[in-house]
């Protein structure tokens, strides 16, 4: 299998004066230091010494109960503490699933395009990625059925709501069909649902985590997008059978809960109402940034690119003229003090070279407007005679 570098080059802040829309992280003003201080102090004021022990393998029962209570109204569907398994964030969860439910040489179906760093995790495990096309309603089920005639995947990785990078949302009908196919063809659906709660113009269909009784589903959630990435805390929602398989593993039996301490802090954040308050703030803030970026794109890139305004998540996905290679264009973006992620990164077949991804999460309105203006200047320079 062909491998290529997917190294992240923006872990730190961009250079002064650069507006880099390649950064898929929240802006500093949305990282809740005071909120976390309050939740941590509340936990430590009441903590029992055993709460600093290894913790239950599945995750602290009180935290899972609080998380279930938080998710149930958001999902408009009852979530039980028994269905939740605590993880150290989505990347760790995906790596763990690959190690437990797939073997080197197995096939993974992945949307084309899809989150580029998931490709690297699959490659780390020696798994072969096969792309399945998407459209405005998400994963194309007819394309999936066609590929199932010639492949037997161990896993299918999907981002159902507010896709990274495409922004689209998998329809209710397709979610049900996908769940049914996972049973009929005996593969696992790994649903990356980190953006499920970040909706700005209407709620998406119910999370695939609510469909674990009708399909072989592992639903991944994370506090990275709704609280803070540095917590490295998330969850997997699944059926009793798959839960049993996750618990019966050496790493879980040896180390207990993957993130016991932080789960206690987050339980207090949920119970104090701090998580819901921040989520409401994020929805309002990101909605404004989506509208700002959409207006700026129409002003500065109208006629140069096509896109859909996302209903949630973090990203705009732009398609440019067929003659443009955004991988090469990224080098020139530095001259205009802006940046983006080129489309080829998100392809498992080396395609999508004329596409790019922009994140609106890392910058406020003024920077978004200025950055899109710079991007427009870059693209206009490419089309100038």
Regarding whether 287 and 268 lie in a shared domain, the answer is no
User: Pseudo-torsion of CA 93, 99, 104, 106, nearest 10°?
Assistant: -60
In a domain, 357, yes or no: yes
* 210 plus 358 within the same structural domain: no
Q: Is residue 3 part of a domain?
A: no
Q: 145 and 167 share a domain?
A: yes
Give yes or no: residues 345 and 227 share one domain: no
pTM of the model: 0.94
Listed in sequence order, the residues at least 6 apart from 162 whose beta carbon sits closer than 8 Å to its beta carbon are 168, 169, 195, 196, 198, 199, 204, 310, 311, 312, 313, 314, 315
Using the 3D structure, point to which of 249, 272, 295 is the last residue of a domain: 272
Q: What pLDDT, on a 0 to 100 scale, did the predictor assign at position 2?
A: 42
The verdict on 39 and 142 lying in the same domain is: yes
- Whether 82 contacts 59, CB under 8 Å: no
Same-domain status, 159 and 39: yes
Q: What domain range includes position 43?
A: 34-272
Among 272, 294, 319, the domain boundary falls at 272
Is 241 inside any structural domain? yes
Q: Give the end of a domain, one of 229, 257, 272.
A: 272
Amino acid 325: pLDDT = 96
Same domain, residue pair 145 and 172: yes
- Domain count along the chain: 2
Say what the pLDDT of residue 8 is: 44
**CATH classification of the domain holding 173:** 3.40.640.10
Taking CA atoms, 365 is separated from 19, 165, 287, 292, 379, in Å, by 12, 21, 11, 6, 21
Within a domain: 14: no
Rounded to whole angstroms, the maximal C-alpha distance in the chain is 71
Q: Kindly state whether residue 354 falls inside one of the protein's structural domains.
A: yes
In 3-state terms, what secondary structure has residue 349? coil
Taking Cα atoms as reference points, which of 65, 94, 61, 63 lies closest to residue 79? 65
* pLDDT score of 9: 46
For residue 283, the domain's CATH number is: 3.90.1150.10
In this structure, the answer to whether residues 290 and 251 fall within a common structural domain is: no
Tell whether 156 and 251 lie within a shared domain: yes
User: Quick check: is 141 in a domain?
Assistant: yes
Let me know if residue 79 belongs to a domain: yes
Same domain? 283 vs 227: no
Same structural domain for residues 208 and 130?
yes
pLDDT along the chain (385 residues), means of 10: 45 81 95 98 96 95 98 97 98 98 98 96 97 97 97 98 98 97 98 98 96 96 97 98 96 92 98 98 98 98 96 98 94 94 94 97 98 97 70
* Whether residue 331 sits in one domain with residue 258: no
Asked whether the beta carbons of 97 and 218 are under 8 A apart, the reply is yes
The HSE-up count of residue 336 (CA atoms within 13 Å, CB side) is: 23
- Please report whether residue 291 resides in a domain: yes
């Amino acid at each position: 299998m062909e491998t290529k570098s997917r190294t992240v080059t923006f872990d730190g802040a961009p250079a002064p004066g650069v507006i880099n829309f390649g950064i898929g992280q929240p802006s500093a003003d949305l990282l809740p230091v005071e909120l976390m201080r309050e939740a941590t102090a509340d936990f430590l004021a009441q903590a029992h010494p055993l709460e600093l022990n290894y913790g239950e393998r599945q995750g602290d029962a009180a935290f899972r109960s609080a998380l279930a209570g938080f998710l149930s109204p958001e999902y408009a569907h009852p979530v039980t503490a028994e269905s939740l398994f605590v993880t150290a964030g989505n990347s760790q969860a995906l790596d763990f699933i690959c190690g437990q439910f797939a073997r080197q040489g197995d096939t993974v179906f992945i949307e084309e395009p899809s989150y580029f760093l998931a490709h690297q995790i699959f490659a780390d495990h020696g798994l072969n990625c096969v792309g399945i096309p998407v459209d405005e309603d998400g994963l194309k089920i007819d394309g999936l059925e066609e590929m199932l005639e010639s492949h037997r995947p161990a896993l299918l990785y999907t981002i159902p709501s507010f896709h990274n990078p495409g922004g689209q949302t998998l329809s209710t009908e397709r979610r049900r069909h996908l769940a049914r196919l996972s049973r009929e063809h005996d593969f696992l659906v790994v649903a990356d649902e980190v953006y499920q709660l970040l909706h700005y113009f209407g709620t998406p269909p119910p999370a695939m985590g609510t469909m674990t009784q009708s399909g072989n589903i592992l639903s991944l959630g994370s506090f990275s997008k709704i609280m803070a990435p540095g917590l490295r805390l998330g969850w997997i929602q699944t059926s009793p059978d798959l839960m049993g398989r996750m618990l019966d593993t050496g790493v879980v039996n040896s180390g207990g809960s993957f993130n016991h301490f932080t789960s206690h802090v987050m339980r207090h954040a949920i119970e104090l109402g701090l998580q819901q308050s921040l989520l409401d703030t994020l929805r309002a803030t990101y909605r404004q940034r989506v509208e700002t970026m959409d207006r700026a794109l129409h002003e500065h890139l109208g006629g140069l690119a096509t896109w859909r305004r996302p209903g949630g998540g973090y990203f705009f996905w732009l398609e440019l003229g067929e003659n443009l290679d955004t991988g090469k264009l990224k080098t020139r973006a530095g001259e205009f003090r802006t940046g983006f992620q080129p489309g080829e990164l998100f392809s498992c077949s080396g395609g999508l070279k004329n596409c790019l991804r922009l994140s609106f999460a890392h910058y406020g309105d003024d920077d978004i407007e200025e950055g899109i203006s710079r991007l427009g200047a870059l693209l206009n320079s490419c089309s100038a005679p």
